[in-house]
Structure 1
Amino acid sequence: MERTLRIARSLEYIVTIIGRTAGWLIPALMIVIVMDVVLRHWFVIGSTALQELEWHLHGALFLLALGYAYFKNAHVRIEIFYERWPVRTQAWVELWGLILMMLPYCAAILWFASDYAARAFLVGESSPSPAGLPDRWIIKSILVLGFAVLGLAGISRGLTLMVFLFGPKSLAQHCGFPDEGAGPYDETDLQTEDARP
């Protein structure tokens, strides 16, 4: 079980690095938006490529941060019920949610999006507009990468939940749940950059 928890923490570290790196797309997106607005409104120069770059950066930002947001508990939950349940019930519900919904959904998206991105690459798909961006396969590949990262986050969380539910109490304390350790998403227990000085 210790090895399982180490694997979960390693996956969490990878997802965290990718999510934090994706955060650097925010300044790039802001610069592109400001340039687009200034060019269109003050110089009356419209740029299809800049507008497409805006949605490419926006899409990449959110897709690459999905897994990180899951670890930070930033996804929508039905808190009315979830918070009132005992900790073990919360863990069981989350584990079954991962097994029955999140991981199959990620697998389905990966299956279809991989073909979607590969076809775009093989045919050399570019923007339908002559003034748009070439290589549309890049943003389509980000769709694949984003859901792969979310899937890794789900696997990591699932492994952690299994250690919490089935492992010895000494390890369950390191899984980040109240009453049996720290808070449910307490960053003090995570072996990520957050814990480094």
Structure 2
Amino acid sequence: MTVSDQGSPQNPRASIDDPDEFLHHHTELPTTRLSQWIDGLLTAIGKGASWAWVIVTGFIIYAVVGRYAFGHGSVLLEELEWHFAGAGWLLGMAYTLVVDDHVRVDVLHERFSLRTQGWVELFGLLVLLLPFLGLAIYEMVPYAINAYNVGETSQAPAGLSNRWVLKAVLALAFMLIAMAAVSRLLKVTALLFGLPRPIRVQSDNAKKEDVS
């Protein structure tokens, strides 16, 4: 698939010869001071959560060696594996929205002008994403609190206690995604209405030119 060469930051219908790049094309939105701060926080959390996969890998290696080399299995270790895997995945979801690297399969969206893309983003955030996240947080917070109050533990013998921790991570993940959605909403309103006031961010290419 090839889009005609009409490219500029204001015109997203640039020449994109790679189909994968076309599907993952980013909408160039302005940045505001608050959205920049939120994005920085969520980026730090997302990168920190990526270390959970290193921990999971260590658990898996330890479990495999223990089971097949020494004949000792551990239900506790197996549950730790999927708990850490779940936490790493959940806490990293907001980061994908910050960098706009979630999968978009919408060939029409990429052919729109930047302002039209902004209106589509505004509708999606206000009508679809934020209401869903609000409902999810409303349901997930009591879900975690109830698990804490009843002292919920694993149903498996010798399994994990404090199951409320993972459920609290689930609620926290939706809160972080909501923060990422608010950050993106601020960028969209800055594009469409000039509010909040957008700030100029030096591009990577400009930084390289300054260094050279």
Do Structure 1 and Structure 2 share a fold, with TM-score over 0.5? Answer: yes
Fraction of identical pairs, as percent? 37
Bigger radius of gyration: 2
In 1, the alpha carbon distance for the partners of 2:136 and 2:81 equals 23
The letter for the 2-side match of 1:125 is E
Which structure 2 residues correspond to residues 175-194 of structure 1 after superposition, within 5 A?
A: none
Task: Tell me what 1:148 maps to.
Answer: 175
2:134 to 88, 99, 107: 107
Corresponding position: 1:67 with 2:94: yes
In 2, the alpha carbon distance for the partners of 1:48 and 1:133 equals 8
**Does the 8 A contact of 2:33 with 2:198 survive in 1?**
no
Aligned length: 175
Task: Tell me what 2:116 maps to.
Answer: 89
Task: Tell me what 1:27 maps to.
Answer: 54
Residue 135 of structure 1 aligns to a residue whose secondary structure is coil
Q: CA deviation at 1:163?
A: 0.6
User: Using a 3 Å threshold, how does the CA distance of structure 1 residues 187 and 51 change in structure 2: closer, same or farther?
Assistant: farther
In 1, the alpha carbon distance for the partners of 2:102 and 2:204 equals 17
Residue 148 of structure 2 aligns to a residue whose secondary structure is helix
Task: Tell me what 2:40 maps to.
Answer: 13
In 2, the alpha carbon distance for the partners of 1:116 and 1:63 equals 16
The structure in which a higher percent of residues are helix is 1
The letter for the 1-side match of 2:164 is W
Task: Tell me what 1:130 maps to.
Answer: 157
TM-score, with length taken from structure 2: 0.76
User: Using a 3 Å threshold, how does the CA distance of structure 1 residues 187 and 76 change in structure 2: closer, same or farther?
Assistant: farther
1:77 to 104, 107, 111: 104
**Does the 8 A contact of 2:59 with 2:81 survive in 1?**
yes
Corresponding position: 1:45 with 2:45: no
In 1, the alpha carbon distance for the partners of 2:170 and 2:204 equals 28
In 1, the alpha carbon distance for the partners of 2:205 and 2:176 equals 23
Residue 132 of structure 1 aligns to a residue whose secondary structure is coil
In 2, the alpha carbon distance for the partners of 1:187 and 1:135 equals 45
**Does the 8 A contact of 2:39 with 2:183 survive in 1?**
yes
**Does the 8 A contact of 1:165 with 1:172 survive in 2?**
no
The Cα offsets for residues 46-65 of structure 1, whole Å up to 9 and x where unpaired, read as: 21111111111111001111
**Does the 8 A contact of 1:52 with 1:132 survive in 2?**
yes
In 2, the alpha carbon distance for the partners of 1:47 and 1:68 equals 33
**Does the 8 A contact of 2:32 with 2:199 survive in 1?**
no
Structure 2: give runs of 5+ residues left out of the alignment.
1-30, 207-212
**Does the 8 A contact of 1:125 with 1:134 survive in 2?**
yes
Aligned-residue CA RMSD in angstroms?
A: 2.2
In 2, the alpha carbon distance for the partners of 1:154 and 1:131 equals 40
TM-score, with length taken from structure 1: 0.81
